[in-house]
Amino acid sequence: MSATEAATLPLAAMTAAIGLYQRLGLPQPWDSLPASATHHAIPLVIYGAASAVGFFALQFARRSNIHPLICVAGRARDYVSEFIEPDKGDVVIDYRQSDDDLIAALRTALGERPLRHAFDAVSEKGSPQILGEVLEKKGDGVAGGQVTFVLGGKKEVPEGVEQSTTLVGSVHRDAKDFGYVYFQYIARGLKEGWFRGHRTEVVPGGLGGIQKALEDLKAGKASGVKYVFRIADTEGVVREE
C-alpha cells in the first residue's frame, strides 16, 4: 500500500466502524453468517457511499454480510457499483434527482422490507429529511428505525426515528477498546485484501494547495476521491538527507 492510499484510512475508516457497530448496533464482521445467507435480510442505507466514510462503511457492511446495501451516490456511482453485490439485492441510487423521486427509488429498493438502519455520511443538504421519510417509525409493537450522522447537531427527522452522531474522537474516550480492536482488524483486512483505501487525488503544492482544495470541496468538485497533501511538496520545506 502506498503512503498516499494509507493516508485515507485512519479517521474515515474508524468513523465508519463506530457508526455501523457502536451507533447502529449492526452485527460485527466476525459474527457474519455464511456467504449463502444474510443477517435476516437487514437493509442498510448508506447515504454518501462514494465519500470516504461511506466507502469504508460499505466495505465493513459487506464483511458483516449485511444486505441489501442501498447506496446513495452521485457522479461516482459507477465507482461504488464496483463494490456492491447485486445478486444479494444491493443497489446504487443516484441522489441527483428530485427529493420525491429519490424517496420513491429508496422505497422501491426496500420493497416490503422495513428500513431500521441508515448511515448518513453526508448529513446535510436534505439527506436527514429524505432518510426520515423512509425509516420505520416507532409505534405499537414496532421498534422504529435509527440513523447516525457524521455531523453534530439535532437533525430534522420524524418522531419515532432514533438519531445519533458518529464522532471518531470517541475512540479517545469511551471507545478506546473498540478503537484498539478495529485498528487491528482494519490492518488484517488490508493484508487479506477485503479492505482497501479510498481513491485519492494528490493536491499540487503540498500544504500550499489547501486553500484551493477547500474551495473545490465547497464547489462540489470532489467526487469519490480523497484529497491528499504531501508535506514535502510544500514550498519552503527543507528536506533532511
Q: How far is CA 103 from CA 98, 127, 214, in A?
A: 9, 10, 30
Q: 225 exposed, middle or buried (CB, 10 Å; 0-12, 13-18, 19+)? A: middle
Cell numbers for 190: 488490508
Amino acid code (one letter) for 3: A
Fold annotation for 3-172: Rossmann fold (3.40.50)
Contact present, 139 and 114 (Cβ < 8 Å): no
Please give the pLDDT value at position 228: 94
Give the span between the Cα atoms of 119 and 148, in whole angstroms.
5
Q: How far is CA 233 from CA 177, 200, 209, 216, 226, in A?
A: 36, 16, 10, 19, 17
Kindly state the helix (H) or strand (E) to which residue 53 belongs, with its residue range.
helix 52-63
Please give the pLDDT value at position 224: 86
Terminal C-alpha separation, the chain: 24
Please give the pLDDT value at position 140: 66
- Cis ω on the peptide bond leading into residue 68 (within 30° of 0)? yes
Please give the pLDDT value at position 63: 95
Question: Strand runs (DSSP E) across the chain, as ranges?
Answer: 44-47, 69-73, 91-94, 117-120, 146-149, 162-165, 200-202, 226-228
Give the span between the Cα atoms of 27 and 169, in whole angstroms.
22
Q: What is the DSSP letter of 18?
A: I
Q: What is the CA radius of gyration of the chain?
A: 18
Please give the pLDDT value at position 142: 80
Amino acid code (one letter) for 141: G
Map out the domains of the chain as residue ranges: 3-172, 199-241
Is the pTM for the entire model greater than 0.75? yes
Which residues is 226 bridged to in the sheet? 200
Please give the pLDDT value at position 240: 65
- pLDDT per 10-residue tile (average), the chain, 241 residues: 91 98 95 56 94 96 95 94 95 96 97 96 95 91 91 91 96 95 97 94 94 91 89 82 59
Please give the pLDDT value at position 239: 67
Q: What is the DSSP letter of 39?
A: S
Amino acid code (one letter) for 94: D
